[in-house]
Amino acid sequence: MGQFLGDKQLEVLHTKVYYKSLDIGYGGCEDYDFYTKAQAILSREKDLRDVSNKILKALCYVYKKSSREHFDTNICNFLYFWLGNVLLSKLKLKDLYSEIIIKLFLTLKDKNSLVVCENPYPYMDKDDFEKIKLIFDCSEDYKGYNEQHHNVIKSCNKNYKTHLDKNIETYNNFYRECVVEKINNKNDRCNAFKEYFPNNERNLLSKFKCNFNPKETYTEQSIEGGEEDSEHLPAQQRDERVTDQAQLDQTRREVARPADATRSSSSPLDTKISDMYGIPELPDGTHPTIISKSVTGAVSVAGALVPSYLLYNVISIMFNKYNAL
């Protein structure tokens, strides 16, 4: 049976992970020198007032990540395109965007006054920016597609297919312009294409296919599949997921901890539910039924995850039977 590709697989592609991280950003950098300097640069442009804080939080995110061991410098490339996208959407004088990016990159210095991020494009014409961003994003998602499409693919949902088709179209358009037609194959766009896809293979992304079936009911992959997906994340994102998983495992252990209390104080209903699902009581005589939705949105039963709506239905039935006694 083939693998289904849905929102979960879409959200671990590099562009989704990095741009979302920059959109959210980090706080707590107000006391750093780079923050004050970047704030001063942004304050000079009244067109950027409503996105100034968002940009500062993105810079803070990169700055804090750079202080960690094994800093993933690829985030600097994403920062460049993220900043360009935000600035061009707000600035009335579009030509200023490149100058502002240069200045913001120069503010990002570590405690030894070394620049955290090298600017990948000291200058890029605003008319080329959008297209070069497209091929950069395509090259980053290509890395994820290579991993996700190892297995036989049965089908995918609309969101995944739309994103994939966009990348396929982007690659094919660049290939036609820069390799087949060769009309302007030495312009900045084609130079970027050759940089991100040095082999220039024909239909490179077209081999990644999935069938969209709107009538198919999508059943989320098993919980074990989450570990497989985590391998597709950038290294720093995998580390954060490991921490989250450790916290979840701890919650499960606490929920499944054997109770010291006896069943003598339990109601017949409690006993029936406990016997049916093997749910131990907590020391206060209550049953650990529902884990916070913010953690899993499911119920931990005998070490397995059972959807909360299913256990709710069972409990409702048991209540009705007990009231009839």
Contact indicator for 8, 233 with CB cutoff of 8 Å: no
- Does residue 165 surpass a pLDDT of 90? yes
- Does residue 227 surpass a pLDDT of 70? no
Please give the residue that has the higher pLDDT: either 236 or 277: 236
Contact indicator for 160, 8 with CB cutoff of 8 Å: no
Q: What is the distance between the alpha carbons of residues 173 and 176, in angstroms, rounded to a whole number?
A: 5
Helix (H) or strand (E) holding 137: helix 126-148
Domain spans of the chain? 14-126, 138-212, 225-324
- Does residue 279 surpass a pLDDT of 50? no
At 301 the pLDDT is 42
How much is the average pLDDT of 1-15? 88
Q: What is the distance between the alpha carbons of residues 212 and 218, in angstroms, rounded to a whole number?
A: 11
- Does residue 310 surpass a pLDDT of 70? no
- Does residue 284 surpass a pLDDT of 60? no
Give 42: exposed, middle or buried? Use CB within 10 Å, 0-12, 13-18, 19+: buried
DSSP secondary structure letters along 138-184: HHHHHHHHHHHTSSPEEEE-HHHHHHHHHHHHHHHHHHIIIIII-SS
Number of helices and strands in the chain (H, E) = 13, 5
Q: What's the pLDDT band for 256 if we cut at 50, 70, 90?
A: very low
How much is the average pLDDT of 107-112? 90
At 22 the pLDDT is 98
Task: Provide, rounded to the nearest whole percent, the portion of the chain with pLDDT above 70.
Answer: 65
Average of per-residue pLDDT values in the chain: 76
How much is the average pLDDT of 98-110? 95
Q: What is the distance between the alpha carbons of residues 106 and 116, in angstroms, rounded to a whole number?
A: 8
At 271 the pLDDT is 38
Using a cut of 0.75, tell me whether the model's pTM lies above it: no
